[in-house]
Amino acid sequence: MQVNRRKFFKICAGSMAGTSAAMLGFAPATALAAPREYKLLRAKETRQTCTYCAVGCGMLMYSLGGEAMNSKGKLFHIEGDPDHPVSRGALCPKGAGALDYVNSDRRVQYPEVREAGSKEWKRISWHEAIERIAKHMKKDRDENFVTHNEAGVEVNRWMTAGFLAGSACSNETGIITQKFVRSLGMIYTDNQASI
Ligand code: SF4
């Protein structure tokens, strides 16, 4: 190939630019071969029990943000917990789709009450909700507590109310729940996840 002076300088400039780019790590082959950053790398991992049904599968939930002032955390990935004794990493489609209902605009995140005779639900504080529940429970217990059965045997039971514990409760919460409801004389109690 015949190379004149002008062509010679062009080739040199092109080679130098290519070499510099390669030295800086911009060689296309290297760039394409570089691994993408693992998307869960900086995420906060939280262990949870699926709240959907009584199987009680284990979940790993990954979120970002929420650690600093004015920063709101956002859940962005959910997968089965391989160490969970019930599900061993498996989730059914409902559990695997939990991300959508956790982040749904229509998710109710606070207590609401519909007063007797009203068609409207109104938002109340957690404090008010707990107080109202406690008042209803006391009134019902006062009116319906049974101290003796027909045969005169002392029974001390409250049979007009029941208590259902959530599936995401731990064993410890379950024991405390049992102690609480039994101390009130309540007979009907169950846990949504029978695990
Ligand atoms: S993942 Fe499916 S089977 Fe497991 S607790 Fe949730 S809804 Fe039930």
Q: What is the pLDDT of residue 24?
A: 54
Q: How close is the Cα of 63 to the center of ligand 1, in Å?
A: 21
pLDDT confidence of residue 67: 73
The pairing of beta strand 146-148 with beta strand 154-165: antiparallel
pLDDT given for residue 145 in this prediction: 97
Q: What is the pLDDT of residue 13?
A: 57
pTM (2 d.p.): 0.62
Determine the pLDDT at residue 156.
97
What is the residue with the minimal CA distance to atom 4 of ligand 1?
Answer: 57
pLDDT of residue 38: 75
Of 43, 52, 38, which Cα lies nearest the Cα of 91?
52
Q: Say if strands 154-165 and 186-191 run parallel, antiparallel, or are unpaired.
A: parallel
Is there a contact between 95 and 59 (Cβ–Cβ < 8 Å)? yes
- Stretches in the chain below the pLDDT threshold 70: 1-37, 168, 193-195
CA distances from 44 to 57, 62, 77 (A): 20, 5, 10
Our answer on whether the CB atom of 135 is closer than 6 Å to any ligand 1 atom is no
Check residue 101 and give its pLDDT: 86
Residue 134 has a CB neighbour count (10 Å cut-off) of: 10
Ligand 1 atom closest to Cα of 49?
5
Is the sign of the CA dihedral 154, 158, 162, 165 positive or negative? negative
Alpha-helix residue ranges (DSSP H) falling in 25-115: 28-33, 93-96, 98-102
pLDDT at 143: 98
